[in-house]
Amino acid sequence: MVAKHVIFAGHVQGVGFRFTAHRMAARHQLTGFVRNLGDGSVEMVAQGSAGDIDDCIEDIKESFPGYVREVIVNDIPSDPKRTDFKITF
């Protein structure tokens, strides 16, 4: 199991982005969270297999063509306490 910290920048707030990310994370059986940030970007922490995380990120980007300007992905330590995927505020 791996974990990744992801920042989605662009026009990603107010368009259903977090709910779509939540649905995609469930589809790929990921744990973690997604939330809006004050600078207009969206932060996601995703935990699962590396392939499932990468596929989830691609599915999210494909769901918002023209909205996602930049995606920054960094590896982070996994946390066994994360047992589900949440939308946080």
Q: Six-digit token pair at 65?
A: 């063509």
pLDDT of residue 89: 86
Interatomic CA distance for residues 2 and 66, integer angstroms: 29
74 is a catalytic site residue: no
Residue-wise pLDDT for 9-32, tens only, equals 999 999 999 999 999 999 999 999
Q: Where are the alpha helices (DSSP H) in 1-89?
A: 17-27, 50-63
Question: Of 27, 35, 36, 69, which one is the catalytic site residue?
Answer: 36
Mean pLDDT, residues 68-83 taken together: 97
Catalytic entry in 18, 35, 69, 74: 18
Is residue 36 annotated as a catalytic residue, yes or no? yes
- Dihedral class, residue 80 (left if φ above 0, else alpha if ψ from -120 to 50, else beta): alpha
CA distances (Å), origin 56, targets 38, 39, 85: 23, 23, 13
